């Protein structure tokens, strides 16, 4: 498994909140899915409220 750095933003009460997270995944698509799961769970947001801007290998 590789480590990917994912950056983007999610919708909050005050507009959009930026984030950058490191996640272990087999490929970029799975890294995106894990971010949708983590951010959605932690901040109670749906996938449509999360914008992933960049996925890069760390």
pLDDT tens-place values along the chain, 58 residues long: 899 999 999 999 999 999 999 999 999 999 999 999 999 999 999 999 999 999 999 8
What would the two tokens of residue 52 be?
């992933």
CA distance 58 to 22: 8
d(CA 8, CA 31): 13
What are the DSSP calls for 1-58, one per residue? -EEEEEEEEEEETTEEEEEEEEEEESSHHHHHHHHHHHHHHHHT--GGGEEEEEEEE-
pLDDT confidence of residue 58? 81
Say whether pTM exceeds 0.85. yes
């Amino acid at each position: 498994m590789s480590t990917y750095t994912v950056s983007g933003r999610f919708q909050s009460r005050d507009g959009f909140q930026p984030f950058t997270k490191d996640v272990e995944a087999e490929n970029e698509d799975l890294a995106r899915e894990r971010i949708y799961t983590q951010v959605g769970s932690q901040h109670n947001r749906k996938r449509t409220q999360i914008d992933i801007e960049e996925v890069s290998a760390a």
